[in-house]
A and B are shown apart, each in its own frame.
Chain A
Amino acid sequence: MENPSNNSKVTRRRFMRDSVRSVLALGIGAVSGLLIGRSTKQNIVWQLDPEKCVQCGRCATDCVLDESAVKCVHAYDVCGYCELCGGYSKPDAHELDTAAENQLCPTGAIQRSFIEDPYFEYTINEKLCIGCAKCVKGCGSFGNGSLYLQVRHDRCVNCNDCAIARNCPGEAFSRMPSDRPYLLKGEQGLT
């Protein structure tokens, strides 16, 4: 035999809980609804704006991956195809050749191939590139700026809080919808 007053206490309590629960459920629903209303169907990915990049070297050191997801890419239609390439040769290079001691890249990731006098093509070996931006600086100050950094999405694990973005002195990183995941230079960037 239950105490009637106790019983009413229990139902009152239950009623309270039910109503608070409903309010909470409604609250979660409302917040989600509000945000879904202005959310994107796209995924969000990280990318860096080459115009804001200050070539600080942190892309190479600060990525959570051992081998950074940021690498150098080449805008071929911006390149001057020079023999003396500020991004390829060391400032004090003795010869403009492909000898390792004359190369600027610390990992030798830039390949130079002769096309015709006086033009040379430069390509990046992404397996070797560490994203240090040394060549970006060299190319930018002496050349046309055709070498620049991009987050490579085949490598990026898309952290919610990008460790490089957090420390980027140029504040060059931003979140992009995944249907335009690159900020390219040259003709490819215009389309």
Chain B
Amino acid sequence: MQNRNHIFSSITLIAAVGLLIFYGFTIFSGRSGRDENPFEYDVDSFKGADSSLIHYAEVQSIDFEGKKLTALTLNFKDELIVAAGREIFRIDSMFQSSLWITTQYPVRCLATDIEGLVYVGLENIVLVYHPDGSKQAEWDDFPRQAILTSIAVGDSHVYVADAGSRVVHYFNNSGKLITRLGEKDPVRNIPGFVIPSPYFDLCIAKNGSVWVVNPGRHTFENYLPSGDLVAQWGKTSMRIDGFSGCCNPTHIAMTPQGEFVTSEKGLERIKVYSPAGQLLSVVALPEQFDEGTVGLDLAVDSKGVIYVLDPSRERIRIFGKKEVS
């Protein structure tokens, strides 16, 4: 009897010491459990690309530390104009930036025309500035819910993308609203823009028509000034040749050859497509950006160099074509 007690208490004691050591270890080492996420949302397999497609490399960058970059554009002299919040900067050929204009509300988009006029899109106003910095006009003929996300200027056309009202406003270059493009119209076979988040970009083609991203459908749509939809292309896929997520591409720009440069969120990548929608080359892959970067605004200069606005790293990143070896 005594002996049994003895054995039992010894076992208990050993167990107690064991538990003490075990729990002591768990508390001092931090976690007892596993350290990987069994429910990881994994898109790693879509982050790569065939190296033969990567024709571009980052050549330079311009730092804007501490600035909340929102938009960029190039004027006809290939000079960069960059917006960060309410401030607009000019960047000279030596990549020195200087504050140029301060607006009343945050800048959402920028564009220039061949005379050097700068069009500044705020939430629901477009301001037109002379190259000397004086304000020339203020266009406010927009619906109440307007959220302007992009402006493109041609010889006699100004197209303004409005994510809030899901239309493109078409003005003449004196600021008179002519019509709105892209409203859903089954008779004219216009599907209507699907814009789940405020990313809605457009660019103007040589013939004066406008290419508009329909981000919810992952398509590019080509509208004539008359409002007719004349062409469209797009592919929904996470693979390198497609666009995915709720709203991609978020930004586009056009090269001198009429090719499209696109940027995406979710899988942060920049690619070049032919006018007909064929993937031509890859500029940058997700590994080159911080995870979760959104708002990679794009511009292309006359030599085909691609300027990317990276709001997460607070800099303008410049990608040039790699030398063909």
A touches B (Cβ under 8 A): yes
Contacts A61-B33, A92-B238, A144-B197 given: A83-B266 contact, CB under 8 Å? no
Q: Is B43 an interface residue (CB 8 A)?
A: yes
Complex CA distance for A150 and B293, rounded to whole angstroms? 25
Cβ contacts B286-304/A at 8 Å (1 or 0 each): 0000011000000000000
Which residues of A lie under 8 Å from residue B41 when comparing CB positions? 55, 91, 104, 134-135, 137-138, 141
Q: Is A65 an interface residue (CB 8 A)?
A: no
- Find the A residue at minimum CB distance from B194: A118
Q: Is A84 an interface residue (CB 8 A)?
A: yes
- Find the B residue at minimum CB distance from A130: B39
- Find the A residue at minimum CB distance from B266: A142
Complex CA distance for A133 and B247, rounded to whole angstroms? 21
Q: Is A63 an interface residue (CB 8 A)?
A: no
Cβ contacts A168-180/B at 8 Å (1 or 0 each): 0000000000000
Q: Which of B39, B45, B248 has the most CB of A within 10 A?
A: B39
User: A57 and B40: CB pair below 8 A?
Assistant: yes
User: A134 and B39: CB pair below 8 A?
Assistant: yes
Cβ contacts B158-170/A at 8 Å (1 or 0 each): 0000000000000
| Contacting residues of chain B (251-266) with chain A, CB-CB under 8 angstroms | 265-266
- Find the B residue at minimum CB distance from A59: B39
| Contacting residues of chain B (24-66) with chain A, CB-CB under 8 angstroms | 31, 33-34, 37-43, 45-46
Q: Which of B31, B43, B45, B218 has the most CB of A within 10 A?
A: B43
Nearest CB of A to B242, in Å? 11
Which residues of B lie under 8 Å from residue A142 when comparing CB positions? 244-246, 248, 265-266
- Find the A residue at minimum CB distance from B43: A91
Which residues of A lie under 8 Å from residue B291 when comparing CB positions? 141
Q: Is B182 an interface residue (CB 8 A)?
A: no
Cβ contacts A60-87/B at 8 Å (1 or 0 each): 1110000000000000000111111110
Q: How many cross-chain pairs have Cβ atoms below 8 Å apart between A and B?
A: 88
Nearest CB of A to B46, in Å? 6
Complex CA distance for A85 and B40, rounded to whole angstroms? 17
- Find the A residue at minimum CB distance from B198: A144
Complex CA distance for A134 and B197, rounded to whole angstroms? 21
Contacts A57-B40, A91-B46, A92-B238 given: A82-B194 contact, CB under 8 Å? yes
Nearest CB of A to B245, in Å? 3
Complex CA distance for A141 and B245, rounded to whole angstroms? 8
Q: Is A132 an interface residue (CB 8 A)?
A: yes
Which residues of B lie under 8 Å from residue A167 when comparing CB positions? 31, 33
Complex CA distance for A167 and B195, rounded to whole angstroms? 37
Complex CA distance for A133 and B291, rounded to whole angstroms? 17
Q: Is B275 an interface residue (CB 8 A)?
A: no
Nearest CB of B to A50, in Å? 14
User: A82 and B246: CB pair below 8 A?
Assistant: yes
Q: Is B18 an interface residue (CB 8 A)?
A: no
Cross-interface CB contact of A57 among B39, B218, B265, cutoff 8 Å: B39
Which residues of A lie under 8 Å from residue B133 when comparing CB positions? none
User: B247 and A80: CB pair below 8 A?
Assistant: yes
| Contacting residues of chain B (160-213) with chain A, CB-CB under 8 angstroms | 191, 194-197
- Find the B residue at minimum CB distance from A133: B39
Q: Is A33 an interface residue (CB 8 A)?
A: no
Contacts A92-B45, A142-B266 given: A82-B196 contact, CB under 8 Å? yes
Q: Is B236 an interface residue (CB 8 A)?
A: yes
A–B Cβ pairs within 8 angstroms, 6 of them: A84-B236, A84-B245, A91-B41, A134-B39, A143-B245, A167-B33
